[in-house]
């Protein structure tokens, strides 16, 4: 589909449209943006993609801090976008609000949970959109929709006014078609000076991550990996997953995924369990199944899992120098076809477990990650991801821009 002709209604990306003028002027003058409906805009209900949530909560009285930062830097806000229910899905099919359009692959899901934000950007309806990412909710839709998506280092962009899912993984970030816009917006949100052009010391391809991906994804990314080698020569190397984790337990993505999921599920129960038990909300069946999983978590696993998480974090932090980069596919497969969405519990080789394996590295490592829209396979977009040490967000953006 030709993005330039898609209307708001055709995109099905929005839950509300409006005009909110900038409150200041600066780096973002002239740009317009949309806000995932998990993030507060004063006067509007934050619906979190679920009507029961919307109806049982009052309108926000203040903008989330990130919205405030963008308005003050000169951007105007034009609406709120569909989220997967309570942000707990990577698919982008909302039982109540439908499936936002993936304009580059209309028969495929946009990915979630920042589905409407990704769709609004990919359809050319906004210059950029705010999303959230706990376990892949910006990176996966960015890859599926053929746009840029950035998950920042954990803790560096305010999550105040953003509905929590799993606080030690929750982040706010940006989806956009332009790496220049991405850089400007992230500069505002991270409140940091733009990176000086700093040469990367090493760019580590993670062979297990490429091996985890379908052949068509690997094939589609070949040219981009070659471009990395052309740009950075011998500094492009390989590093095994085991070396990133520091011990044998980390040699398989399944351990990273299980570590991430145990903590995520425990945090989701803490954040949302009481409301769910009390309000007995209606959920779409896929989301109900996801929440049911959190009830099956054996809490006795939390202690050892937390220890493993911190061990992997520390090992990643000492493995990665300040100017090192990791590289892997953003997702292991093309966006699933609409309606044929894979079940969450499809075993280790299914879509979900493999996708979470890849996304869990940034979650556990608190690392910034950018998904670059670099390739296509079978007419569907494929993203390549670069990751850097926690806190090195502007350096990472600079490297990503050089590959654009």
Using CB under 8 A, list all residues that contact a second copy.
Answer: 23-24, 26, 40, 57-65, 68-69, 72-73, 154-156, 158-161, 164, 166-168, 188, 190-192, 263, 266-267, 269-271, 273-278, 299-300, 302-303, 306-307, 309-311, 314, 366
CB closer to a second copy, 128 vs 232:
128
CB closer to a second copy, 115 vs 390:
390
Verify whether residue 338 is a known catalytic residue.
no
By CB atoms closer than 10 A (0-12, 13-18, 19+), residue 23 is middle
Cα–Cα distance measured from residue 90 to residue 133, given in angstroms and rounded to the nearest whole number: 10
Cα–Cα distance measured from residue 242 to residue 246, given in angstroms and rounded to the nearest whole number: 6
Verify whether residue 113 is a known catalytic residue.
yes
Least Å from the CB of residue 219 to a second copy: 39
Least Å from the CB of residue 223 to a second copy: 37
- Residue 20's SS3 state is strand
Cα–Cα distance measured from residue 249 to residue 317, given in angstroms and rounded to the nearest whole number: 17
Q: Which is catalytic among the residues 52, 83, 113, 371?
A: 113
Least Å from the CB of residue 248 to a second copy: 18
State residue 310 phi and psi, 5-degree precision: -65, -35
CB closer to a second copy, 92 vs 164:
164
Cα–Cα distance measured from residue 403 to residue 224, given in angstroms and rounded to the nearest whole number: 9
Name the token pair of 303. 């202690």
Q: Which is catalytic among the residues 137, 239, 360, 371?
A: 137
CB closer to a second copy, 95 vs 308:
308
Dihedral sign (CA 224, 225, 228, 233): negative
Q: Which is catalytic among the residues 11, 36, 115, 239?
A: 36
Give CA 43 to chain center in angstroms.
26
Least Å from the CB of residue 141 to a second copy: 24
Nearest in space to 285 (alpha carbons), one of 85, 16, 31: 85
Least Å from the CB of residue 11 to a second copy: 28
CB closer to a second copy, 24 vs 350:
24
Name the token pair of 118. 């990704």
Verify whether residue 137 is a known catalytic residue.
yes
Catalytic residues: 36, 113, 137
């Amino acid at each position: 589909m030709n993005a330039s002709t898609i209307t708001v209604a055709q995109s099905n990306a929005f839950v509300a449209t409006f005009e909110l003028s900038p409150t200041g002027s600066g780096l973002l003058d002239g740009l317009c943006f949309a806000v995932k409906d998990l993030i507060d805009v004063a006067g509007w209900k934050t619906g979190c993609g679920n009507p029961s949530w919307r109806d049982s909560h009052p309108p926000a009285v203040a903008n989330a801090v990130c919205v405030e930062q963008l308005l003050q830097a000169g951007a105007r806000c034009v609406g709120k976008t569909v989220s997967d229910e309570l942000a707990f899905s990577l698919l982008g099919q909302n039982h109540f609000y439908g499936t936002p359009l993936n304009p580059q692959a209309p028969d495929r899901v946009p990915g979630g949970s920042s589905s409407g934000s990704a769709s609004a950007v990919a359809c050319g309806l906004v210059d950029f959109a705010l999303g959230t990412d706990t376990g892949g909710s910006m990176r996966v839709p960015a890859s599926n929709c053929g746009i840029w998506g950035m998950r920042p280092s954990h803790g560096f962009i305010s999550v105040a006014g953003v509905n929590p899912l799993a606080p030690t993984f929750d982040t706010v970030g940006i989806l956009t078609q332009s790496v220049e816009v991405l850089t400007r917006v992230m500069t505002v949100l991270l409140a940091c000076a733009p990176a000086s052009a700093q040469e990367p010391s090493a760019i580590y391809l993670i062979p297990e991550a490429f091996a985890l991906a379908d052949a068509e994804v690997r094939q589609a990314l070949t040219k981009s990996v070659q471009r990395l080698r052309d740009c950075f020569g011998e500094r492009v190397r390989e590093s095994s997953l085991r070396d990133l984790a520091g011990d044998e337990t980390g040699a398989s993505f399944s351990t990273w995924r299980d570590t991430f999921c145990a903590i995520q599920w425990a945090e989701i129960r803490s954040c949302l369990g009481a409301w769910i038990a009390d309000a007995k909300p209606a959920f779409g069946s896929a989301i109900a199944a996801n929440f049911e999983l959190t009830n099956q978590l054996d809490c006795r696993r939390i202690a050892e899992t937390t220890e493993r998480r911190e061990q992997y974090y520390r090992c990643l932090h000492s493995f990665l120098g300040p100017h090192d980069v990791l590289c892997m596919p953003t997702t292991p497969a093309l966006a699933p076809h609409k309606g044929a969405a894979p079940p969450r519990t499809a075993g280790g080789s299914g879509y979900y477990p493999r996708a979470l394996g890849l996304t869990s590295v940034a979650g556990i490592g608190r690392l910034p990650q950018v998904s670059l829209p670099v390739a296509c396979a079978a007419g569907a977009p494929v993203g390549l991801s670069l990751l850097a040490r926690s806190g090195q967000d502007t350096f990472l953006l600079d490297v990503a821009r050089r590959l654009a």
